Structure 1
Amino acid sequence: MGMPESSGDHSAESERICGALPASFPFVDAETAHLAYVVTWWRRYFKLVQGAKAAERPKAEIDGLAKLEARTRRATQKALKAHPLWPWLEQFPGVRGTYTAYIVQLIKDPRRFPGRRCEEGHYLPDIYVEGAPCPIELGAESDEVAERCGAPLHGRRGTGVRSLWHYLGLHVIDGRRARKRKGKAADWVTEAPGILLGPQGIADQIILRQVEPYRSRYDHEKERIAAERGVLEGDRAEVDVNHEIERSAGSARSPKCGGSEVETGIEIERRPGLRPVGTNKGGPGVEDIDEREGPIGLRPIQLHTIARTIALKAFVGDLLIAWKLLG
């Protein structure tokens, strides 16, 4: 089975996103670099298997790809167990597999969040001195000729949780969940929301596998929000789902990570006459309606969406803080 010669084998798009670094920029440690190396190949074979099934390729071909996918999945799980973050992850059966490994290697260096930001918009680990020149390489035509940004670096406040949420696409754009838009370069990892919130993703595993304390957080938020807002059936439910997530996720504390504070990380432009509604994919959409007064209830799917997002963001925030503490 072939493997890339460099652990920095990332797509061009992934290097344009907010907080991204050139592929040559070092990972925080050798374990994270190796994890990224094996994850790259697991994702490649995973997609090949899915594509072969969708195209109804011969069974022998699908089985061959599936064996390679299983082999790289085992290598990924082995690499994750050797990672410095494993002592923390080990206590969460159900969310310590390949999907979490993918998120860990995306972070690359936890000190990048919130890190230092130069005037050109590059984000670096906070190991660099504030005011020092940004070392990001730009306009390099070869390995021998490289210009450097040189713009001063500025420190950023906070735990970095909000910055990481944005980096992973767990933020809001114009009152809606972040989505890739045609003709516009995303400033976040466009594949991350699928890993986190997609079918059988990390959020679903938290709920299905009873991962504590995050499953209890999900149950608590569902109960609390239902009591505050009420639950409606059918098309009568009208609610700003993103606003509910913003209100509920703020100042959350998880006992599994020493009571680390989880910032909301959601900035919403409240626009009159707009409301999220259920789409055919079960997520919130936005359409024009007349303003209405009084309490607004939630449909069960909206209640579920809000609660699972809150629980997921608590897990992601705790992961970042734990990695910094263990590092």
Structure 2
Amino acid sequence: METPDTAELCFPQLLNNSCRRPMVSQSDALLSYILLSSMSLLTVTLNLLVIISISHFRQLHNPTNFLILSLAVSDFLVGLLLMPVKILLTESCWFLGDHVCIVYYITDFIITSSSVGSMVLISIDRYLAICDPLQYTTKVTLDRTKICVCLCWICSVLYNNLILNNFLTQPNEQNSCYGECVVVLNYITGTVDLVFTFISPVNVIVILYMRVFVVAVSQARTMRSHIATVTVQRSVKVTAKKSEMKAARTLGIVVVVFLICICPYYSPILIGQDIEESSSSLSIVVWLFYINSCLNPMIYAFFYPWFRKSIKLIVTLQILQPGSRNARIM
């Protein structure tokens, strides 16, 4: 018969080495499961709609949408693989062994890194499209885009295997008790990860998007200055202002949401501490990082009219009709 003390242990038979379960009420645990499961389902659904839309309709087969497809795939995997495991680990007990622990964390790091890489590629694509429109179709082709996406995923796999090399060889090294699965990045590896996964991508995204915004505003003002009639000028002025505000709002959302979701994760290393991810606790910081995968399809796809049209065709099962791949949705 279990005593109150042994009931709190992940492995009651190991009184001295077992990890303890957190003291959480059933109502709080149930609410947590419902909210996080809903978030996981929403992430999977939104990104799956993006994947089906771009993959099915030929009119959407262009370099920009292929980058969005890569982002949606990584975010889909976050919702399908990473979020459910995190939900199951709310009791802070790891029952799946060292090998599954290794697979979980290496998959976690690869998917999230690929998501960040896809966002960088999207920012580069938009920069070339807005700032160098005459050469865009020549420089950015579908084949080159596919190569860049493949390199992004390959580099993510190689990079994260290097960063987690010590964890891959000694997964139990940082465990404080039995029934725990922990990843700890020391100051050196944490600093390297900070530069390549946070500082560099953020700088690229911010600089390129700011350049895109400046060029977009400049183009809008140039168009206004060439209007001859006062009445038309007034109409275009209003339209131009709306265009400027829409560009500012969209670009601001992209940058701010990304920073809000990723900054807390890297804040420890910024102040000289180790970055630790533990399956023994439901980390708010890690979940905030994951939530970005739910917000990405809203930011990058939901603002496009073709996405709303494709959703209607998918939900009504019209994509199953012959010739639906050639439907005009743009």
State the TM-score, normalizing by the size of structure 1.
0.28
Higher helix proportion, which one?
Answer: 2
**Rg bigger for which structure?**
2
Greater RCO between the two (CA within 8 Å, min separation 6)? 2
TM-score (norm: length of structure 2): 0.28
